[in-house]
Amino acid sequence: MRSTITFLGHAGLDLRLGATRVVCDPWLSARGAYLGSWYPFPDNGHLAAKDLHDTPTLFISSPRPDHCDLETLGGFPKTVRVVIPAFPSRVLADQIAQLGFTEVVELPDWQPLELGGGARLTVVSASTRHILAAALVLELDGEVILNQNDCPLDAATLARLAAIKPSVHFVQSSGASYFPSAYDFSPDQMKAHVGEEVAEIFRRFVGAAVEVGARYLIPGGPPCFLDDRGFELNFGGSIFFDTDELQAKTAIAEPALAERLRILYPGDAAVGEDGAWQFDGHRPYTDKRQYLEAYRRARAPARENQLAELRAQAGPVEVKELRSYLRDLFQFEDMTWNLGLMVQIHLSDGPSMWVDFRKKPFRYLTECEEPASYVLTLESAWMSLVLQQKASWHDLLMGQKVMIHRDPDRASPRLMSHFDYRHDEALFDLVRRVDPALITIQDEQMEYVCQRFCPHRGRDLEYAVIERGVLTCTAHGWRFDLRKGGKCLWGGDAPLLVKEIRPLK
Ligand code: FES
* Dist. CA 475–CA 457, nearest whole Å: 8
Q: Which of 29-43, 306-320, 351-365, 426-440 has the lowest mean pLDDT?
A: 426-440
- CATH fold for the domain made of 319-422: Nonspecific Lipid-transfer Protein; Chain A (3.30.1050)
**Alpha carbon of 461 to ligand 1 centroid (Å):** 9
CA of 33 to the centre of ligand 1 (A): 27
pLDDT at 155: 87
Bond into 42 cis (ω within 30)? yes
If you average pLDDT over residues 156-174, what whole number do you get?
Answer: 96
The radius of gyration of the chain's CA atoms, rounded to the nearest angstrom, is 23
Q: Taking 80 as the threshold, does the pLDDT of residue 27 lie above it?
A: yes
Query: Is 454's C-beta closer than 6 angstroms to any atom of ligand 1?
Result: yes
Q: Is the CB of 456 under 6 A from ligand 1?
A: yes
Considering only 24-33, 190-199, 330-339, 396-405, which range has the smallest mean pLDDT?
Answer: 330-339
Task: Kindly report the average pLDDT of the chain as a whole number.
Answer: 94
Residue having the nearest C-alpha atom to atom 3 of ligand 1:
476
At residue 255, the pLDDT reads: 95
Write down how long the chain is: 505
pLDDT (mean) for 265-289:
95
- To test ligand 1's pocket by mutation, which of 198, 454, 460, 497 has the most ligand atoms within 8 angstroms of CB? 454
pLDDT tens string 94-138: 999 999 999 999 999 999 999 999 999 999 999 888 899 999 999
Q: How far is the CA of 491 from the centre of ligand 1 (A)?
A: 8
Give ranges for CATH 3.60.15.10 in the chain: 2-293
For the cut 70, the answer to whether the pLDDT of residue 435 exceeds it is no
Nearest residue by C-alpha to atom 2 in ligand 1: 476
Which residue has the least CA distance to atom 1 on ligand 1?
Answer: 457
The secondary structure of 405-421, three-state, reads: EECCCCECHHHHHHHHH
CA distances from 207 to 154, 201, 204 (A): 10, 10, 5
Residue 334 carries which DSSP code?
A: H
pLDDT of residue 221: 81
Q: For the chain, how long is the longest CA-to-CA vector?
A: 71
Give the distance (Å) from ligand 1 centre to CA of residue 482.
16
Task: State the pLDDT confidence band at 452, using cuts at 50, 70 and 90.
Answer: confident
Q: How far is the CA of 202 from the centre of ligand 1 (A)?
A: 14
452 lines ligand 1 (CB under 6 A): no
pLDDT (0 to 100) of residue 402:
98
pLDDT at 384 over 80: yes
40 vs 27: CA distance, rounded Å: 8
CA distances (Å), 19 to each of 11, 116, 232, 244, 403, in order?
A: 22, 9, 43, 34, 49
Instruction: Find out if CATH 3.40.80.10 is the number for domain 2-293.
Output: no
25 backbone φψ class: left, alpha, beta (φ>0; ψ -120 to 50): left
Residue of 456, 461, 489 to mutate, ligand 1, most atoms within 8 A of C-beta: 456
Distance CA 186, CA 96 (A): 42
Q: How far apart are CA 72 and CA 300, in angstroms?
A: 19
On the question of pLDDT at 93 being above 90, the answer is yes
CATH 3.30.1050.10 domain residues, the chain: 319-422
Instruction: Spell out a b/e string for 226-252, using b for 16 or more CB atoms within 10 Å of the CB, else e.
Output: bbeebbebbeeebbbbbbebbeebbee
3-state secondary structure of 227: coil
What is residue 462's predicted lDDT score, i.e. its pLDDT?
82
Could you tell me which of 371, 478, 386 has the C-alpha nearest to residue 423? 386
Q: For the chain, where do the domains classified as CATH 2.20.25 start and end?
A: 438-503
Pocket test for ligand 1, best of 179, 459, 465, 480 (most atoms within 8 A of CB): 459
Q: Does domain 438-503 have CATH number 2.40.160?
A: no
CB 455 within 8 A of CB 498: no
